[in-house]
Amino acid sequence: MFEAAELGRKVSKEEFKAQMPELRAALLEAQRALRDSHVSVIVIVAGVEGVGRGEVVNRLNAWLDGRGVETHAFWDVSSEEQDHPPYWRYWRALPPRGNIGIFFSAWYAEPLRRRLSQDWQEARLDAELGRIQDLERMLAQDDTLIIKFWFHLSRKAQKKRLKKRFKDPASRWYQRPGKGTLSKDYNTFVGVAERVIRGTDCGLAPWYLIEAADVRYRDLTVGRTLLHAIKEKLANKGRYMEEPSLVSHAPCLPEGEAARLTILDHVDLEARLEADDYSLRLGQAQARLRQLTWQAHEQQRACVVVFEGWDAAGKGGAIRRLTKGIDARLHRVVPIAAPTDEEKAHHYLWRFWRHIPEDGRMTLFDRSWYGRVLVERVESFARADQWQRAYHEINEFEQQLSEHGIVLIKFWLHIGEDEQLRRFREREQVPYKRHKITEEDWRNREQWPAYKAAVNEMVIRTSTEYAPWTLVPGNDKRLGRVTVLETVCERLHQALNPKAAH
């Protein structure tokens, strides 16, 4: 999930200066409109340590009109608060209609802290997240706009930021002692954070994941997202929105190319693999895979491999190279085409539940349940509320598989637009390949930008700790195939030898 906030998005000084005045004016105007409405706004500012939550809040306070904005940091529990139920302190702080309340971490600080300290087990955390969902839904249904920002820094960027702060006399004093321990906790923290965010990310109170490495990008994005959310909410005033489709989850990006980098932009399509290297690594990986799949069978661990990708990205070729390394008794390939009548008569996930392998086997899906948020979204086969809901449904589905011990491996085979065109033309030339290219493929090509947006959102919202996506550089077929094989080996190895993973 956090890959989406490690893209190196940036805003230059000039761009910032150019965009800021307009944003400030618009924010003040939105605030004026808000004041006369029945809407109240809660802005939650949370994230890993060192992301500059204080700076963001200061910036917001500078941009907004102080009348009608209140900031609350929920530090140590006062004795009065201790003498009341835990949520009493938050209820006290709720902003009245027409006003904005900025909350540091709000009701998220406690669950994060308790889980990190092992004070709470996972089930206890999940139960608390349910309570939080309840609270947020209730407030949202009462015309409260809840905007939750999660600020993210990569481990490296966090380390650098904290070091810098420590050196600076102006900020040193508020750094906690024992620097360096933070970095050790980083992975654990991020793991818990992901669960918390996923468990409380719903249409009524969405999380916005903000890359915090570049301060100007961070602040402009927060400002624009807040502005957009307030304007949307006021435009739909009085109409409480249960339908997640009516709410956009993506932050509003600043202008400028570097501010709009996406995950797919980070795939290196120039990389190449030589023929010799290819043969060697392919053979090695296949041999290793044969061993690993038998080992998985012995341990009764099942495995599900999902293949998605652009038309002509090389899914078929990769699958053939992969299955060559697995005993035929251990695996099945399930190609997903149009659903049968019986499948159509059920929930869209039903046809995939049918094909979930039993313990000790492996199933390769050539296209998958992700069709819901790719082709069905882009071609409008699914309604907006349907595909919007699907991210959560899919995460829940995959979590159930994972909890049962199934190893989940998901590939997006990525190629460039030009490379696709070259392959389409090639297919038209070669007689035995001609059947592989249809009118539909040419039509899909026209939708490239829409698909690209859908792929980005899919990867961001369904890359979980238990089922991460791997983006495969596919312009070079050799590299693509080897990447797939080696990734499967690596993930299987880790799952079967949990200690060796660290």
Q: Which spans of this chain sit near a second copy (rule: CB under 8 A)? A: 40, 80, 83-88, 91-92, 94, 96-98, 121-124, 126-127, 130-131, 134, 138-139, 141-142, 144, 240, 242-243, 300, 342, 345-350, 353-354, 356, 358-360, 385-386, 389, 392-393, 396, 400-401, 403-404, 406
Q: For residues 431 and 417, give the distance between their C-alpha atoms in angstroms, rounded to a whole number.
A: 23
Report in angstroms how near the CB of residue 194 gets to a second copy at its nearest: 17
Asked if residue 98 lies in contact with residue 37, where contact means CB atoms within 8 angstroms, the answer is yes
Residue 266 or 354: the one with the smaller Cβ distance to a second copy is 354
Report in angstroms how near the CB of residue 393 gets to a second copy at its nearest: 5
Report in angstroms how near the CB of residue 342 gets to a second copy at its nearest: 7
Of 337, 349, 352, nearest to 393 by C-alpha is 349
Of 40, 485, 403, nearest to 233 by C-alpha is 40
Residue 200 or 463: the one with the smaller Cβ distance to a second copy is 200
- In 3-state terms, what secondary structure has residue 164? helix
- DSSP state, 467? S
Residue 93 or 421: the one with the smaller Cβ distance to a second copy is 93
Report in angstroms how near the CB of residue 96 gets to a second copy at its nearest: 4
- Helix locations, 382-476, DSSP H: 384-403, 417-429, 439-446, 448-462
Asked if residue 67 lies in contact with residue 61, where contact means CB atoms within 8 angstroms, the answer is no
Report in angstroms how near the CB of residue 225 gets to a second copy at its nearest: 24
- In 3-state terms, what secondary structure has residue 96? coil
Of 242, 489, 496, nearest to 388 by C-alpha is 242
Residue 80 or 185: the one with the smaller Cβ distance to a second copy is 80
Residue 404 or 443: the one with the smaller Cβ distance to a second copy is 404
Report in angstroms how near the CB of residue 501 gets to a second copy at its nearest: 22
Report in angstroms how near the CB of residue 139 gets to a second copy at its nearest: 6
Report in angstroms how near the CB of residue 163 gets to a second copy at its nearest: 39
Place of tokens 């957009």: 228
Report in angstroms how near the CB of residue 373 gets to a second copy at its nearest: 15
Of 142, 45, 40, nearest to 100 by C-alpha is 40
CA dihedral angle for residue 467, residue 180, residue 121, residue 409, rounded to 10 degrees? 10
Q: For residues 439 and 419, give the distance between their C-alpha atoms in angstroms, rounded to a whole number.
A: 18
Of 366, 370, 343, 341, nearest to 354 by C-alpha is 343
Question: CA 179 from chain center: how many Å?
Answer: 29
CA dihedral angle for residue 54, residue 189, residue 148, residue 22, rounded to 10 degrees? 50
Classify burial at 349, counting beta carbons within 10 Å of its beta carbon; exposed 0-12, middle 13-18, buried 19 or more.
middle
Q: For residues 406 and 389, give the distance between their C-alpha atoms in angstroms, rounded to a whole number.
A: 24
Of 254, 152, 156, nearest to 210 by C-alpha is 152
Distances in Å between the alpha carbon of 176 and those of 50, 169, 215, 403? 11, 14, 22, 37
Report in angstroms how near the CB of residue 41 gets to a second copy at its nearest: 13
Residue 85 or 178: the one with the smaller Cβ distance to a second copy is 85
Residue 127 or 501: the one with the smaller Cβ distance to a second copy is 127
Residue 221 or 464: the one with the smaller Cβ distance to a second copy is 464
Residue 90 or 186: the one with the smaller Cβ distance to a second copy is 90
Number of other CB atoms surrounding residue 19 within 10 Å: 19
What strands, in cross-sheet order, belong to the sheet with 407-414?
A: 331-335, 362-366, 303-309, 407-414, 469-473
Residue 16 or 365: the one with the smaller Cβ distance to a second copy is 365
Residue 8 or 98: the one with the smaller Cβ distance to a second copy is 98
Asked if residue 204 lies in contact with residue 242, where contact means CB atoms within 8 angstroms, the answer is yes
Report in angstroms how near the CB of residue 78 gets to a second copy at its nearest: 11
Report in angstroms how near the CB of residue 99 gets to a second copy at its nearest: 8
Residue 318 or 382: the one with the smaller Cβ distance to a second copy is 382
